[in-house]
Amino acid sequence: MTHHRSLQEILKAVHSGKMTVNDAVHHLKGLPYENLGYAKIDHHRGLRTGFPEVVFCQGKTSEQVTDILKRLSSKNPVVLATRADENVYKDVAKVIPHAAYNKDARMIVIRDPKHALNPQKDAGYILVVSAGTADIPVAEEAALTAESMGSRVERVYDVGVAGIHRLLDQKEMLDNANVVVVVAGMEGALASVVGGLVSKPVVAVPTSIGYGASFQGLAALLSMLNTCAEGVAVVNIDNGFGAGYFAHLINR
């Protein structure tokens, strides 16, 4: 994998004649992605950012998703696809039989059987907290993403602030987490309350759950951005994947 050589190594190889000028040009310019025409699969991303490209299925045909996943899974131990509906999964499963589907999270996970992931039970964990039952799909997307990347994840669901004792009961669970993901729609107040209770980073995910003046999640988004608690950062509305990914980077 020459693309790991440093600039200096390549130049030294050129200088010593071990590498031709043309090869050097190729190495310096040719970063390892695969060109499917409609998509440029970024095999290099795993090396660069620690995890392979994740396929966002919305707006892609079933064929495109299948094709991209086939190529990604041939070179990576774990591959994820988000916002995948069940039909897409069925098409993928025909070609990649060990692909698994999580209906709640609408995610496809393809894990190389040789790379089983067994996070130790006493590993530091990410806590995913959701305000209501309807927020669970987004919460599961976050949880599954982080788990697929190798983090231990714990879940506490339906602890919205309207019955704050349900949340306070989980104080120990909150205190021991390395990072907390808070998933909430409507007014999104849960992020502020959790942020005030813990000393760890809180990743807030507004959801589009609500109606009327929630404006498809805008109310929760603004609420979380304006939190009076410290130690809270926010991702896009319904972006469970982004929160899980970000939380894993911290937990790692």
Question: Residues 6 or more apart from 176 whose CB is under 8 A from it?
Answer: 125
Instruction: State in angstroms the smallest separation of the CB of 113 from a second copy.
Output: 25
**183 lines the binding site for a second copy (CB under 8 A):** no
Contacts within 8 Å (CB) and 24+ apart, 234-239 = 234/191, 234/203, 234/204, 234/205, 234/206, 235/203, 235/204, 235/205, 237/205, 237/206, 237/207, 237/208, 238/138, 238/205, 238/206, 238/207, 238/208, 239/138, 239/205
Each residue 92-121 as x (binds a second copy by CB under 8 A) or -, in order, gives ------------------------------
Each residue 10-29 as x (binds a second copy by CB under 8 A) or -, in order, gives -xx-xx-x---x--xx--xx
> Cα 51 from chain centroid?
10
Site for a second copy in 162-181 (CB under 8 A): 162-166, 169
Task: Please say which residue, 29 or 114, places its beta carbon nearer to a second copy.
Answer: 29
Rule CB under 8 A: choose which of 4, 48, 114, 121 binds a second copy.
Answer: 48
Q: What angle do CA 27, 30, 33 make, to 5 degrees?
A: 135
Q: Which stretch binds a second copy (CB under 8 A): 41-49, 91-99, 107-115, 116-124?
A: 41-49
**151 lines the binding site for a second copy (CB under 8 A):** no
Rule CB under 8 A: choose which of 77, 93, 154, 158 binds a second copy.
Answer: 158
